[in-house]
Chain A
Amino acid sequence: MNLEPFLINAILAGFAVAVITGVMGCFVVWRRMAYFGDSLAHSALLGVALGLAVGIAVNVGIILICSVFALLLLWLQQKKVLATDTLLGILAHSALSLGMVTISVMGQRIDLHSILFGDILTVTRPELWWIYIGGAIVLIMLLMNWSSLVLMTLQEDLAQAEGIRVFLCNLLLMFLMTLVVAVSIRSVGILLISSLLIIPAATARQLARSPEGMAIIASFFGVTSVGLGIYFSFVLDTPSGPTIVASAASLFTLLTIYLQVNKKK
């Protein structure tokens, strides 16, 4: 098959997103942030609406709204009135609905399908820059603080006793999650981002023996899923986002079955 420019863009974007979500996804799995990631992604729709309404870049709108979302959550958690999952449910769906209402009031015609499920085959060059710069920030910050974040995940008090500023690290992780959401939305859409965070990391967990190993293997599975997804979506003419996630889910299932069968022997 001939590699047309749009396919090259799609592959460059998809592989980068897979590496970023692979590494970040490990923390999502370790720290049980799956629902948080999902909610953050839902609230991104309001960010898209804000971007269109005010006329700023959609990515900036997403980062703004998601950061506000994260801070609001942090503040409400301190109040200790409602459980975190309840708060997330309220915030996420309010933001999602507000976003939909805003978009329809503005009368803007946007491709809702591509926002919800992603459309990696139409990624443009400027969008590629976003993904690479945002992704580089995420990876560099994670790598620089790697041991501290791992220790904090294992035991927060121990981390604090050793001089790690736990509150700041939590804030950092939240901010990095908003960046991940912002750079991944074009590829897999609002509804499927968290699956790209969770599935490759969960697949990698079954093989990994160290935290770093898990991050590397998760990225590998992510890249493989994106490759397979783009290929099949091109050949079968299926929507790209769901095809990528379906590929990731297939890899997870196959590996799980393989390991279970071999374990019994």
Chain B
Amino acid sequence: MVNLIQASNITVSRQGNKILENVSVVVGEHDFLTVIGPNGAGKSMLLKCLIGFYMPDTGKIRKMAGLRVGYVPQNFSPEHTMPISVKRFLGLRRKTEKAVVEKVAEETGIVTILDQPLFNLSGGERQRVLLARSLLDNPHLLVLDEPAQNLDISGQLGFYKLIEKIYKERKVSVLMVSHDLHLVMASTNEVICLFHHVCCSGEPQLVAKDPEFISLFGKDMATMMAAYQHSHDHVHHHNHSHES
């Protein structure tokens, strides 16, 4: 099995503060990794290092040759001053075949809004448009940075279901920052709990019992998570490691 991304002991400092310290992450084929952690824990920085926005100060990041990544950024609030349709936005800077656009639009449920102006969309529609754009290149890996943070609860459910569907049907890997762990538990096969360093990682069930997890998120969250029945349809290695 080929690893898509393998980051070993990466450290990033900004203005004298260590944002990431000795973080190691492996994204394998058809993995579903969820990164959790308090605000300012370095979650976005981790994603951005993994997809090559920033070079880590120390440490190594190895990527599979020819790796295609679809990225869904954290905030997307197009201004109404820019008149642009959803279709045009999807086609910006790329020459995608019409059939591919149509297929992806169908997959993400945005067929009916293709001709609408981008700024007119609801939060949920906007996220699905971003997801559609990230799928146009037929990526091996989807990287999503808190994709549902501005959605209401039914919007969140719908969006995570969509990601699950894409994860299963396309056999992609997913690397996602999300606080809504209870909603993505069923698909997640590894949770990385980050607070500048990797506090704990592994299967959601096990992470929930970890003392470091409990001290970061409180007992309630841990109890809630542990209460979820979690079943895997495949076997995988989990490493439940402690650092620091």
Across the A-B interface, the 7 shortest Cβ-Cβ residue pairs = A157-B73, A161-B71, A147-B93, A208-B83, A151-B92, A30-B82, A147-B92
| Closest A residue, CB atoms, query B143 | A161
CB <8 Å contact, B82 and A153: yes
- Known contacts A155-B76, A157-B73: A162-B93 contact under CB 8 Å: yes
A98 at the interface (CB under 8 A from B): no
- Known contacts A147-B93, A151-B92: A158-B71 contact under CB 8 Å: yes
Known: A148-B93, A157-B145, A158-B73. 20 other contacts (CB 8 A): A147-B93, A151-B93, A154-B78, A155-B75, A155-B76, A157-B48, A161-B51, A161-B53, A161-B69, A161-B71, A161-B73, A162-B71, A162-B93, A164-B93, A209-B85, A210-B85, A211-B82, A211-B84, A211-B88, A213-B83
* Chain B neighbourhood of A150, CB < 8 A: 82, 84, 92
The listed residue with most B CB atoms (<10 A of its CB), out of A30, A150, A161, A214, is A161
B176 at the interface (CB under 8 A from A): no
* Chain A neighbourhood of B74, CB < 8 A: 157
Q: How large is the interface on A (under 10, 10 to 19, 20 to 34, 35 or more residues)?
A: 20 to 34
Given the complex of chains A and B, what is the CA–CA distance between A205 and B81 in angstroms?
A: 7
Interface string of B183-220 (1 = CB under 8 A from A): 00000000000000000000000000000000000000
14 sampled A-B residue pairs with Cβ under 8 A: A30-B79, A147-B92, A153-B82, A154-B84, A155-B73, A155-B78, A157-B53, A157-B145, A161-B69, A205-B83, A208-B83, A210-B84, A210-B85, A210-B88
Query: What is the predominant secondary structure among interface residues of chain A facing chain B?
Result: helix
Given the complex of chains A and B, what is the CA–CA distance between A208 and B133 in angstroms?
A: 23
The minimal Cβ–Cβ distance linking A34 to chain B, given in whole angstroms, is 11
B36 at the interface (CB under 8 A from A): no
Given the complex of chains A and B, what is the CA–CA distance between A202 and B75 in angstroms?
A: 25
* Chain A neighbourhood of B69, CB < 8 A: 161
The minimal Cβ–Cβ distance linking B133 to chain A, given in whole angstroms, is 8
The minimal Cβ–Cβ distance linking A26 to chain B, given in whole angstroms, is 9
Which of A30, A154, A213 has a CB less than 8 Å from the CB of B118? Answer: A154
